[in-house]
Amino acid sequence: MSANSRTSLLRRHLFVAALVAGLLTANTVATAQTATVATKSSATNGSARSVVVAEGLSNAWALAFLPGDPAGPMLVTERAGRMRIVGKDGKVGPALTGVPAVHAINQGGLLDVVASPDFQRDRTIYFSFAQPVSGGARTVVASAQLAAGDSKLDNVKIIFAQADVVGGGLHFGSRIAIARDGSLFITTGDRYSEKDKAQSLETHLGKVIHINVDGSIPKDNPFTSNATARKEIWSYGHRNLQGAAIHPVSGKLWTNEHGPRGGDELNVPLAGKNYGWPVIGYGIDYSGLRMHDSTAKAGMEQPIHYWVPSIAPSGMAFYSADRFPQWKNSLFIGALAGQHLARLTLDGERVVAEERLLLDLKARIRDVRQGPDGYVYVLTDDANGKILRVSPN
């Protein structure tokens, strides 16, 4: 072999060695980043008891306690487009009038509802729904007043409407969380067929939205000076966010979202940050094939917790009451596919333990709220949906 051939071969060996070393380093960095930021679900089965408060609700989606009475009543949405008052005696009232028409197809329909912090004074509620429009449907949020007598909605006003109209009935989101300053966080879905648009700031798909209660744009929104971005966007790169809650101490927004087959996420979305969908993630396609570039990438945020396999997380609530000290500061999340209530023990913004409750019910848990009486209340999603009052066993 000539000297030139030996030199060329040596260079090739060195190049391959450097390449392998670089790949190993990159993988090590990605793994280290994942290990220090994201924690994978490792749950134990716990016990809790539940009491049926009300039943006969058809595919109920959300419940909200109306301020002013420590024992109720509750406002409940049914996906088909009905909103009902459930009394503290468990009696389910007739459907309210004045509720707009909804796109009640598959996952679409009447979705979340929350009561204004000033409800006793202004009787205001906020609710989200899939709105039927030409060409398909879109996620919208409306405000309204619950009329005296609790039989109808007055002054219904659309305060947010997703700019993107998509056909079908998948991935609408949508939860509403009221920030400490009274502004609203709204979660949307990527509508499944438009998943790549979760990365685009020109659409509302796969985003956390932040607006004032009149629909105007808060001054602290991160993209107000971006000429092409939707000014309502708070964070992006999300898939289908179906849980949202404000941390009672920090005041930060926490969200959960569905992954595909595996990769459900718990996040603390920060202004302007990209949470990676569909570029990075911990799940696979429904076909079983790989669908992400990797689990980590520069410029994209890691979840603080993720589930493999999926539990299909839904409504969630922090527990801040004194009734059950052993649950104080826990985060409760309903599981649809998992058919349980998850209780997460937190250390700051780190999940240190997960306990799965109500497994014996084999029920899809759609929403979770802390009641004014200090109990945990959950809403089951089926043709004979129930409101359950939950306490430690």
Tell me which residues are annotated as active site. 171
The residue with tokens 């030199």 is: 7
CB 153 within 8 A of CB 146: yes
Task: Read off the amino acid at residue 345.
Answer: T
Output DSSP code: residue 141: E
**Residue 138, strand partner residues:** 131
With 0-12 / 13-18 / 19 or more C-beta atoms within 10 angstroms meaning exposed / middle / buried, residue 148 is exposed
| Euclidean distance between CA atoms 166 and 127, whole angstroms | 20
The residue with tokens 């990769």 is: 263
3-state secondary structure of 286: coil
Q: Quote the Cα angle for 75-250-40, to 5°.
A: 85
| Euclidean distance between CA atoms 392 and 355, whole angstroms | 12
| Euclidean distance between CA atoms 313 and 321, whole angstroms | 23
CB 287 within 8 A of CB 297: no
Q: Which two tokens stand for residue 14?
A: 């060195």
Q: Which two tokens stand for residue 75?
A: 């406002």
E runs forming strands in 304-339: 305-307, 313-318, 331-335
Close Cβ partners of 134 (under 8 Å, ≥ 6 residues apart):
165
